[in-house]
Every structure is written in C-alpha cells, then in structure tokens.
Amino acid sequence: MERMPFDGTAFGPRELLVTGIPSAVYHDGGALEFGPDGMLYAGTGDATDGPLAQDPASLAGKILRMTPDGRPPGDNPFPGSLVFSLGHRNVQGLAFDSRDRLWASEYGANAWDELNLVQPGGNHGWPQVEGRGGDGEFVQPAAQWPVEEASPSGIAIVDDVIHMAALRGERLWQIPISGEGVGEPVATLEDAHGRLRTPEPAPDGSLWVTTSNRDGRGEPAAGDDRILRVALS
C-alpha cells in the first residue's frame, strides 16, 4: 500500500506504507476509507487462498485498520497487528454510518454475497461459511443476496441509507439501516446502465455512481464508461 501527496495539480513522490498483503489475479479487495477516528481502513481479499482469511498472521481476507502512516493503532483488537476483522473473502466497499459503525460489502463465491456490520476483532466466517451460518461461531451478515442479484462493489451511506453498487446484478441497492441491522433492501437503476461499480455522495446531496462495462465482463453501450448522477429523495 502506498500514498502520494497531491498539491492540486500534480502528485509527489510515492511513499510505501504497508507491505505483505498477499495478491493474486482475483480476490484482491482494495476498498479504502478514512474513519471518523482518523484511522485508515482497508479491505483485502483472500488472494484465492481461502484459509488465509482465517489466519490472523496473514493480511489476506481481512479489514485492516491503521494510522495514516500505516502503523497499527494501540487500540486495535489484536495488539501490534493491522487486522481489524477477519474471515472475509473479498471486501469491495467500506463506509461509516451516523453512529460511526463500519459497514462492508463482500463478494461471495457461488451462493451468497454479503453486507456486513463489521465487528472489531470479529470473524466473519470465510471460508467455513458463505452467507449466514456457523451456529453462532461467526459474525452474521446484516443482509445477503444470491450472487446473480448483486456481486457487490462499492458502498456509500447517506442519511443512514446504504447504497450498494452491483456488478453482475446491474442495479443499485438501497438498504436502510435500522437499529442493529437493516430494513428491506430496494433495487434501483435495475438493468438500466449495466454493471455499477462505485457510489459516492456528491456535494449537492445527490449520488455519483460509476459504471463498469468496459472491464471485460460487461456489454458496453455508447458513451461507456460513465459517471451517473442519481437524485436522492
């Protein structure tokens, strides 16, 4: 993991922050989000080696929490480690709600994609469990979808509604946060713009959403790829 200063016109020298994150052709995660605590959170994938997600000594299949300089904070759940949570297959999106709680979207394998309310030090189950299960041994997803309806990418939270972009599902899911869980998910933009990659709150109160139809898996239309502006009621 690297960082580069930006002065408004150009990037400065690259600075290496974190090494040792396993990588592969697939399942590399990559979501980044600064939390309200000033710490940087990073989602990683299992690098196609599922057991690494359960190995606390590996940075694969984890959500990491670090200082802006890439160091483990003293109050992380595993002393001296960047690991914040484990048991993840491929974390795609990270966002914080109004209660400063961290939510994450995650690619499943063949059955279930997940939306997780992340627990510090929590084990979210992969590869022993995909979706809900485990008889209480693991943190349960707040919501799950068949992979053909989601294959989620980024998430954004506006007024405690989670907006989750779906690649294979070709829709934008809106999921209201309700207490310790979520309400009924509602699909929007369904089959209207192809694969959706990243939602981001815009300064005017709308939502920017990027399409991802030129990634080798979509069917590009004229003008793809695009940034969509979605009005929020």
**pLDDT, position 136:** 86
Answer yes or no: is pLDDT of 23 > 80.
yes
Q: What is the model's pTM?
A: 0.95
Nearest residue to 61 via CA among 42, 34, 75, 80: 42
Q: What is the mean pLDDT of residues 70-90?
A: 97
- Per the DSSP assignment, residues forming a β-bridge with 114 are 106, 144
Q: Using 50, 70 and 90 to split pLDDT, how confident is the model at 25? A: confident
Q: Using 50, 70 and 90 to split pLDDT, how confident is the model at 152? A: very high
Give the whole-angstrom CA distance, residue 197 versus residue 146.
Answer: 18
Answer yes or no: is pLDDT of 233 > 80.
no
Residue 198 CB coordination number (10 Å):
18
Active site residue 27: yes
